[in-house]
Amino acid sequence: MNKSIFLKTILITGLLFSQSLFLSGQDSLSLSLALEKALDYNYGIVIAKSEVNIASVNNNWGNAGRYPGIGLDVGSYNSYDINNVADYSNFRLGASLGARWTLFDGFRIQITKDKLSQLEVLAKGQSAVIVESTIQDVILAYYTVLLNIEELVLINNVMTLSKDRFDYETRRFELGGTASYNVLQAKNIFLNDTAFFLEQEVRLRNSVRDFNFLIGEESSKMWIFTDKFEARKKPYLLSDLSEKMMAHNNNLQNQYTNLLLQQNEIRLKKGTYYPSVDLTTGLNNNWTVNQRVNADPVNLNNLNIYGNLLISFDIYNGGNRKRALEVARINEEIAQVEIDQMKHSLNNQLLNLHDSYYVLQALKGVAQESLETAELNMDIAGDKFRSGAINSFNYRDIQLIYFNSALQNLKATFNLINSESSLIRITGGFVSENE
């Protein structure tokens, strides 16, 4: 096979492979629709919703112990006695229905119900953390796909230029206008760019699979991604961000709920110092048949109805109640320190993210201006190369400058998107916007 035909085959194969990525997906997908799919089908979110449902089921007065327990027992007890006087048998059927109701236990029923309510709130808060984490992951995964598409297009443009240069050098060599060394160099550059192009296609496909995993779609599903790859330059006032963070950051809100749980634990331990009052009531019914030898059977039926009030008080148990209360108070202090620690940490993170956001905005502007300069330089260099004013080495250097500038501009765009998403997440914006 002719070498030129071989190289063209490589290029055509790569382009067809690339086009299949963009055209095989029959469904258009915007970022907002992708987020809706993730909220419905993301594995972590589905599990978190189930855990919230469990906490909601557990949050009821019956689980807290307010209602009485009622039990029914039915049994038969049979015997046959042999002695020196007379043999006889007993058949007895018994049934009992009883109820036990705690009337007072040191306010622990109410405290337990409060604790169950707080556990439900905590489950919802933990679910909100998973939701906002997933939303940010989906946003970044969506723009990662767009970034890889843009990089693939960029590499394809560079590869097209290197192919044009290779064809140009080949024609010049056939006409005797250049040495074979220049042809071989152009060929080598074209092959390297082609390999880079194929590697980028693999990265693009992998990023689509990672994205599909986050939204709960099949790995092989292809999309037409409709959003533009661009970053907003929205102004953010630090004081507003700080206020929103303290009011809506879900990790901080969960820490407040944890503090309430520790305070409830103290109330529960204090409740052990009170007596408990229980009411037991019910009825017992026993039906007995006594059968003696050479005698008529005797039937007995006994019904017993009862109602009892029980007051119990733990006077001393080795100091266990005192130690348990002391531990609960220490845990409350720890929870308060953890809140202070989290506030301090979040403030530091917010300052870093806010500074980084504006630095990345400036870097994006620099990258955009650098790209415009590199594009202009590329146009001028192409004309100079064909006129012989610059050699192939200089032309390749200018190509690489353009490629690096374009790549840095794409990465600056993605970094700015990532930075803004982190600002929104730390202030609880994702969940509040979703709600």
Least Cα distance to 141 among 414, 432, 410, 356 occurs for 414
The phi and psi torsions of 107 (rounded to 5 degrees) equal 65, 15
Identify whether 72 is part of a domain: no
Identify whether 92 is part of a domain: no
- Asked whether the predicted pLDDT for residue 54 surpasses 80, the reply is yes
Its domain, for residue 56, covers: 3-67+107-273+318-434
Identify whether 342 is part of a domain: yes
User: How many residues are listed for the chain in this entry?
Assistant: 435
Identify whether 80 is part of a domain: no
pLDDT band at 7 (very low <50, low <70, confident <90, very high): very low
**Cβ-Cβ contacts under 8 Å for 307 (sequence gap 6 or more):** 279, 280, 281
Q: What is the pLDDT of residues 322-364, one digit of tens each?
A: 999 999 999 999 999 999 999 999 999 999 999 999 999 999 9
The pLDDT value recorded for residue 2 is 45
Average pLDDT, the chain: 86
- Asked whether the predicted pLDDT for residue 164 surpasses 90, the reply is no
The pLDDT value recorded for residue 393 is 77
Mean pLDDT of 420-424: 95
Identify whether 290 is part of a domain: no
Number of domains in the chain: 1
Q: What is the pLDDT of residues 80-122, one digit of tens each?
A: 666 555 556 667 777 888 898 888 888 888 999 999 999 999 9
- Assign residue 9 the CATH number of its domain: 1.20.1600.10
**Cβ-Cβ contacts under 8 Å for 232 (sequence gap 6 or more):** 420
Identify whether 83 is part of a domain: no
The pLDDT value recorded for residue 6 is 44
Least Cα distance to 291 among 80, 75, 77 occurs for 80
Identify whether 298 is part of a domain: no
Identify whether 206 is part of a domain: yes
Q: Measure the CA–CA gap between 78 and 90, rounded to whole angstroms.
A: 6
Q: What is the pLDDT of residues 282-321, one digit of tens each?
A: 888 887 777 666 666 767 778 888 888 989 888 888 889 9
The pLDDT value recorded for residue 85 is 52
